[in-house]
Amino acid sequence: MIVRAYTGHCTHHLKGGRVRQFRPKGEMLVVMPDGQMQGADARAKHRANEDVTRYSEGGLSARLFVGLSAPAPSGKGQVPRYSIKQVVDAVVAIRKEQGQRPDATFLAQKGIYTEGEGAELVEEDSVQIIIIDIFGTPENTFVQQMTDLGEAPRARFEQKEVILEVQNKGVVQAVYGIHA
On whether the CB atoms of residues 133 and 50 are closer than 8 A, the answer is: no
Higher pLDDT, 88 or 28: 88
pLDDT for position 70: 83
Taking alpha carbons only, the member of 158, 177, 169, 178 closest to residue 5 is: 169
On whether the CB atoms of residues 102 and 61 are closer than 8 A, the answer is: no
In the three-class reduction of DSSP (H, G, I as helix; E, B as strand; rest coil), residue 172 is classed as strand
Tally of helices (H runs) and strands (E runs) in the chain: 3, 11
Q: What is the mean pLDDT of the chain?
A: 79
Cα–Cα dist 15/117, whole Å:
13
pLDDT digits (tens, 9 = 90+) for 156-169: 888 888 999 999 98
pLDDT digits (tens, 9 = 90+) for 53-105: 666 666 899 988 888 888 888 877 788 888 888 888 888 888 888 888 655 55
- Residue 29: what are its φ and ψ, rounded to 5°? -115, 140
Q: How far is CA 103 from CA 20, 73, 91, in A?
A: 31, 36, 12
Q: How confident is the model at residue 51 (pLDDT cuts 50, 70, 90)?
A: low
On whether the CB atoms of residues 106 and 3 are closer than 8 A, the answer is: no
pLDDT for position 141: 92
Is the pLDDT reported for residue 29 higher than 80? no
* pTM confidence score: 0.66
On whether the CB atoms of residues 167 and 63 are closer than 8 A, the answer is: yes
What percentage of the chain has pLDDT greater than the value 90?
Answer: 14
